[in-house]
């Protein structure tokens, strides 16, 4: 509210009371099944089939998760969740020894996910090609070439990796955050750490080693930061041709320093300066750890630079070895690889674990238990377990959809691969024990070209992926209220049907209270979805479009009126609710979502003192009644023809 302090015009913004409700999404699918690779026990959201292949691998003979996801996107799907189901799968790995004098385990290289696919991975460790061969290493990952006579395929390469946890190039940090094939676990108990040191290049003795003004260089110990070492006082009166005098001066000067940072070990500056092989100086950190290091740089003034004269630091030909140097994995022998899951335990390899796909085929319980992975996901609306034709799985899937907190999902069921006759379809339909309106089943299976190229003949594949994609496509084009069937629902990617049904045979599948959605092939139309019923015996929700429309309304309104919680429960709130929901329903009416030619025929929204009594108000309850007249498909178009006679 404006503060009125001076004469004039004050302009304020006030709320209109309208808080638009957005229609909930209806076409995000979730597919569960067996995959070549990928995470187990969790869902990944993907947006195209290429992304599926990257995470979950390719097509598998006898399992149809990949086929279903491919056809989902091929038929108009835009996004879906994928859940890889497995039981007892093992992860391929190889454990490598380090470079210490008494070798310990350095790291374990494991496949990114469990499965036999990891046995086809291999790696090369090579420090000789790293920018800093004394401290870093390169790791290159290969995969078996499908062509047996050709070299393995390079899939990933990582350069200049470190075993120092404080380094930005720390191997697990770099690889585990980016690799699509492997993950790294280092041996945190590795004790092959050294005190880092900087060693000069060989010096030429026999004369002054330092000029008159060359008394300074910069040093960085254990990443404490570069600071200047000034030898002026320590070398006063000393013989600068005597390497030992210089050694003593460097040691005493550095030891007089204290750490700049609290995180720097207190003993880091208790350095030891020694003479190596008569002509080389070595400055060793007082701290032994993976992060231990001594780095030398030139003084700010080139005329005062002692580092160049003493050949200290990498730029001056010296060498620097860090505390984690010996913790690196040993180099791969020439013309060889470290094989994940299939290597000989000898030399640089201390252990291997063979990758495996676990127990196959999976049980019904494996699939039904996986449905709970969706419990925390709100934007899914279609669920399928492609190729699993168990009535128990279909029962569980439909019950899960109906029992979610918002009952906001719809299950698309497949029959079994061997269900190829009308009698098989009837038996499957009658085996559904707890049919409800939250699911539909499609028959028969379809034929598609074998994407693996193993078969020259078309292969049979389950229809759920095709159907889910068509649901998504028709939702986008026409709206969720349009039944996903008819000549508009042309199945893309299918080259035939496993079984061609006649009109009379399809009628048999529609006669009972539980219906089967049939896929047909018609001249001029091609292969189309030719059924739009749920498995429910309840006539109110026997059509897929009606059930999915009700789901969309429920989820949309639920999300759109969250603002009402804790608002004063009186007529003002009730009128705002009526306005918000009414505006949403009117928008849908104008899009043709309801039956009826006027809004009053199409829907109503009631929220007043009749729906919310004083007793409800005392309990903190506000009741809203929303009704709609659903559009139902014209399944049976009856044309009556008679002769017109007796007229001129």
**So what's the pLDDT on residue 440?**
97
Q: Domain check: are 289 and 157 in the same one? A: no
**So what's the pLDDT on residue 269?**
97
* pLDDT tens digits along 454-497: 888 999 999 999 999 999 999 999 999 999 999 999 999 999 99
What's the chain's average pLDDT?
A: 94
* Predicted confidence (pLDDT) at residue 208 exceeds the cutoff of 90: yes
SS3 content of the chain, % helix, strand, coil (to 5): 25, 25, 50
Who's near 338: CB < 8 A, 6+ residues apart? 94, 96, 109, 122, 123, 124, 125, 332, 348, 349
**So what's the pLDDT on residue 648?**
55
Q: Which of 1-15, 144-158, 190-204 has the highest mean pLDDT?
A: 190-204
Q: Domain check: are 48 and 107 in the same one? A: no
Q: Domain check: are 396 and 407 in the same one? A: yes
Q: Domain check: are 395 and 492 in the same one? A: yes
CATH of the domain at 541: 3.40.50.11780
Which domain, by its residues, includes 142? 93-193+326-353
| Mean local confidence (pLDDT), 133-141 | 97
Q: Domain check: are 146 and 257 in the same one? A: no
Find out whether the peptide bond into 444 is cis, omega within 30 degrees of 0: yes
Q: Domain check: are 112 and 51 in the same one? A: no
Q: Tell me if residue 253 falls in helix, strand or coil.
A: helix
**So what's the pLDDT on residue 646?**
65
Beta strands per DSSP E along 206-304? 216-221, 227-230, 272-276, 280-288, 294-297
* pLDDT tens digits along 335-352: 899 999 888 899 999 999
Is residue 561 in some structural domain? no
Strands 349-353, 93-97: parallel, antiparallel or unpaired by DSSP? antiparallel
Phi, psi angles (nearest 5°) of residue 239 = -90, 105
Where is average pLDDT lowest: 15-24, 234-243, 251-260? 15-24
Q: Domain check: are 477 and 454 in the same one? A: yes
User: Structure pTM?
Assistant: 0.88
Query: Which of 409, 377, 411, 439 shows the shortest CA–CA distance to 552?
Result: 409
Q: Domain check: are 372 and 498 in the same one? A: yes
**So what's the pLDDT on residue 14?**
80
Confidence label for 635 from pLDDT (cuts 50, 70 and 90): low
* Predicted confidence (pLDDT) at residue 647 exceeds the cutoff of 70: no
Q: Domain check: are 541 and 411 in the same one? A: yes
* pLDDT tens digits along 212-223: 899 999 999 999
CATH of the domain at 261: 2.60.40
Give the total number of structural domains in the chain. Answer: 3
* pLDDT tens digits along 101-116: 999 999 999 999 999 9
Are the C-beta atoms of residues 336 and 241 closer than 8 Å to each other? no
* pLDDT tens digits along 241-286: 999 999 999 999 999 999 999 999 999 999 999 999 999 999 999 9
Q: Tell me if residue 523 falls in helix, strand or coil.
A: coil
What percent of the chain clears pLDDT 90, i.e. is strictly above it? 90
Chain Cα centroid distance, residue 464: 23
Who's near 369: CB < 8 A, 6+ residues apart? none
Distance (Å, rounded) from C-alpha 265 to C-alpha 24?
Answer: 57
Is residue 636 in some structural domain? no
| Mean local confidence (pLDDT), 373-390 | 97
Is residue 133 in some structural domain? yes
Is residue 8 in some structural domain? no
Structural element, H or E, at residue 625: strand 625-628
Confidence label for 514 from pLDDT (cuts 50, 70 and 90): confident
């Amino acid at each position: 509210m404006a503060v009125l302090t001076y004469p004039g015009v004050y302009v304020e913004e006030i709320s209109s009371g309208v808080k638009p409700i957005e229609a909930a999404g209806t076409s995000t699918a979730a597919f569960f099944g067996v995959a070549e690779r990928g995470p187990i026990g969790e869902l990944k959201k993907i947006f195209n089939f290429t992304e599926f292949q990257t995470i979950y691998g390719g097509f598998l003979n006898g399992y149809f998760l990949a086929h279903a996801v491919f056809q989902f996107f091929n038929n108009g799907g835009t996004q879906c969740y994928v859940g890889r189901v497995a039981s007892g799968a093992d992860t391929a790995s190889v454990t490598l020894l380090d470079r210490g004098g008494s070798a310990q385990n350095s790291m374990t290289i494991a496949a990114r996910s469990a499965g036999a696919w990891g046995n086809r991975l291999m790696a090369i460790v090579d420090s000789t090609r790293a920018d800093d061969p004394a401290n870093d290493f390169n790791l290159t990952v290969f995969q078996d070439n499908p062509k047996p006579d050709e070299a393995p395929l390079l899939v990933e390469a990582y350069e200049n990796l470190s075993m120092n946890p404080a380094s930005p190039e720390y191997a697990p940090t770099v690889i585990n955050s980016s690799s699509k094939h492997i993950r790294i676990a280092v041996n945190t108990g590795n004790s092959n750490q050294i005190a880092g040191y900087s060693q000069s290049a060989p010096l030429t003795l026999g004369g002054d080693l330092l000029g008159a003004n060359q008394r300074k260089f910069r040093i960085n110990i254990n990443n404490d930061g570069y600071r200047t070492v000034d030898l002026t006082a320590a070398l006063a009166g000393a013989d600068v041709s005597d390497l030992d005098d210089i050694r003593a001066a460097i040691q005493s000067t550095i030891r007089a320093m204290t750490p700049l940072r609290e995180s720097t070990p207190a003993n880091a500056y208790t350095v030891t300066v020694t003479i190596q092989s008569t002509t080389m100086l070595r400055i060793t950190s007082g701290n032994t750890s993976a992060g231990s290091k001594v780095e030398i740089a030139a003084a700010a003034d080139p005329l005062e630079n002692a580092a160049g004269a003493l050949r200290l630091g990498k730029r001056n030909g010296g060498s620097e070895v860090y505390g984690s140097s010996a913790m690196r994995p040993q180099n791969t022998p020439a013309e060889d690889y470290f094989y994940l899951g299939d290597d000989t335990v000898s030399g640089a390899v201390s252990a291997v674990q063979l990758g495996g796909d676990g127990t196959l085929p999976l049980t019904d319980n494996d699939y039904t238990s996986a449905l709970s992975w969706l419990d925390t996901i709100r934007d899914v609306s279609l669920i399928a377990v492609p190729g699993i034709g168990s009535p128990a799985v279909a029962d569980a899937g439909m019950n899960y959809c109906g029992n979610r907190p918002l009952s906001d999902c719809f299950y698309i069921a497949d029959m079994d691969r061997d269900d190829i006759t009308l009698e098989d379809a009837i038996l499957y339909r009658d085996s559904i024990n707890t049919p409800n309106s939250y699911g539909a089943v499609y028959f028969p299976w379809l034929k598609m070209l074998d994407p693996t190229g193993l078969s020259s003949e078309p292969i049979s594949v389950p229809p759920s992926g095709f159907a889910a994609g068509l649901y998504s496509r028709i939702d986008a084009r026409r709206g969720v209220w349009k039944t996903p069937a008819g000549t508009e629902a042309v199945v893309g990617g299918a080259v035939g049907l496993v079984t061609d049904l006649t009109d009379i045979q399809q009628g048999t599948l529609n006669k009972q209270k539980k219906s089967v959605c049939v896929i047909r092939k018609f001249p001029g139309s091609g292969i189309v979805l030719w059924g739009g019923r749920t498995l429910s015996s309840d006539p109110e929700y026997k059509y897929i479009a009606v059930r999915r429309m009700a789901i969309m309304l429920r989820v949309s309104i639920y999300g759109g009126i969250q603002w009402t919680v804790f608002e004063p429960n009186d007529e003002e709130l009730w009128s705002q609710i009526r306005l918000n929901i009414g505006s949403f329903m009117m928008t849908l009416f104008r899009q043709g979502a309801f039956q009826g030619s006027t809004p009053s025929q199409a829907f109503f929204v009631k929220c007043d003192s009749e729906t919310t009594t004083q007793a409800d108000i005392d309990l903190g309850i506000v009741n809203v009644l929303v009704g709609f007249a659903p559009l139902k498909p014209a399944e049976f178009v009856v044309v009556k023809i008679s002769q017109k006679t007796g007229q001129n």
